[in-house]
Structure 1
């Protein structure tokens, strides 16, 4: 098990998608070179994979969400980690 998985277990965030509040399961992952990213699942299906870049902006690695939704998920992840 990677250090990231031990220190950052999966967690849930609540966001509004298309006018409906949704619970997204977030699974912190790590690339082979140690870069953190987040697998996001909605109702058991992978919705997207995102990461925060060096400028603090959220980018989508996998999926087809519009940038506003990627940003909303990223914001919810960041808020959850701070609390």
Structure 2
């Protein structure tokens, strides 16, 4: 899941190579909703949120390089 919504759902038992993305297929609407509800509950329990990257960069004071990546420092 990202800010745009769910984007990957595979049946790893019947599709171990993850060829057929099931997101948006009517037969899986209920499963998607249950998974979304579980995710939201777990995030609320932990005080977590889905927010744009800039929110976290600002919150934690990370600097980014010219391409927007947090530089690795050894």
| TM tier, smaller | 0.3 to 0.5
For the pair shown, the structure with the greater C-alpha radius of gyration is 2
Structure with the larger strand share: 1
Q: Give TM-score scaled by structure 1 length.
A: 0.31
Which has the larger helix fraction?
2
